[in-house]
Amino acid sequence: MVFGMESILNQEYRRLCDESPSQPLVYLRLRQAIRNVIDRREIEPGHALPSERELAQSLGISRVTVRKALAGLVEEGLLTQRHGAGTFVAERIVKPISRLTSFTEDLRARGLNPRSEFFERGIGEVTPEEAMAMNLSPGTAVVRLHRVRYAGDEPLAIERSVVPASALPDPSLVRDSLYEALEARGCRPRRALQRLRAVLLTAQHAHLLHVSPGSAGLAIERRSFLDDGRIVEFTSSWYRGDVYDFVAELHAE
């Protein structure tokens, strides 16, 4: 067990106790402490966390509470658990597909630095295909973004987004995050339909993603809606298959 890591977690947990003594839920506080140390890269991806027993002992809380704190972070994709081996900071990016989050939020939650390189950030008339996919009338103005999405220097995905100009009148409003720009206009998507399929990355996509042509990728199409049912986003993404795990929680019914 790494003592340094235990004491870093311990310190962060105590700091949160002092900062918000009124937080009655111990597992939420521990969850936040772990999130913070991962965020600050004080525990690196792939590294193990102290065991449940060790954490419980050093923090003076019950193992049930520790387990509950960890389970939530496993569900968020921040931690992974390997049977018999323990709990690790997730190395691959594990993305729950049932949450409508943005690339920027997903990466920030993992302590990574999201960045975009734009090939296109403009406004134009909707094409017939886009009009069909988005239920827009011919001639409607749309904003188009074509970006490579990075974590620091590492390219992770290519995205083409189309957004009605009624939701986003000026493409330059999008700096790093489309969802932040939409949120600022009160048009953040509330619901989305997403389609995922496995692909072999074309030479052009592979080049942009710094992988070999023919590498495995995931082609994802997301159509997002506002509360009133209007489509606010139609995005086609190509994610690298070697770094992403998409996970979903399933319920029997």
Contact pick of 78, 156, 162, 220 for ligand 16G (by CB under 6 A): 220
For ligand 16G, the closer of residues 13 and 179 by Cβ is 179
150 forms part of the interface with ligand 16G (CB under 6 A): no
Minimum CB–partner distance for residue 150 and ligand 16G (Å): 11
DSSP, residue by residue, the chain: --HHHHHHHHHHHHHHHHH-TT---HHHHHHHHHHHHHHTTSS-TTPBPPPHHHHHHHHT--HHHHHHHHHHHHHHTSEEEETTTEEEE-SSEEEETTS---HHHHHHHTT--EEEEEEEEEEEEPPHHHHHHHT--TT-EEEEEEEEEEETTEEEEEEEEEEETTT-S-GGG-SS-HHHHHHHTT----EEEEEEEEEEPPHHHHHHTTS-TT-EEEEEEEEEE-TTS-EEEEEEEEEETTTEEEE------
Minimum CB–partner distance for residue 203 and ligand 16G (Å): 22
List of residues 6+ apart from 71 with CB closer than 8 A: none
31 forms part of the interface with ligand 16G (CB under 6 A): no
Span interacting with ligand 16G, options 75-83, 134-142, 208-216, 230-238, rule CB under 6 A = 230-238
Cα of first residue to Cα of last residue in the chain, in angstroms, is: 41
Q: What whole-number distance in Å separates Cα of residue 47 and Cα of residue 23? A: 28
Minimum CB–partner distance for residue 205 and ligand 16G (Å): 15
For ligand 16G, the closer of residues 87 and 161 by Cβ is 161
Task: Report the DSSP pairing between strands 93-96 and 244-247.
Answer: parallel
For ligand 16G, the closer of residues 49 and 220 by Cβ is 220
Size of the site for ligand 16G (CB under 6 A): 14
Minimum CB–partner distance for residue 64 and ligand 16G (Å): 33
For ligand 16G, the closer of residues 87 and 235 by Cβ is 235
Minimum CB–partner distance for residue 6 and ligand 16G (Å): 34
Q: Find the binding residues for ligand 16G in span 89-148 (CB under 6 A).
A: 102-104
Q: Find the binding residues for ligand 16G in span 166-195 (CB under 6 A).
A: 177-180
Minimum CB–partner distance for residue 232 and ligand 16G (Å): 10
Minimum CB–partner distance for residue 130 and ligand 16G (Å): 15
Q: Which residues of the shown chain bind ligand 16G in the complex (CB under 6 A)?
A: 102-104, 159, 161, 177-180, 220, 222, 233, 235, 237
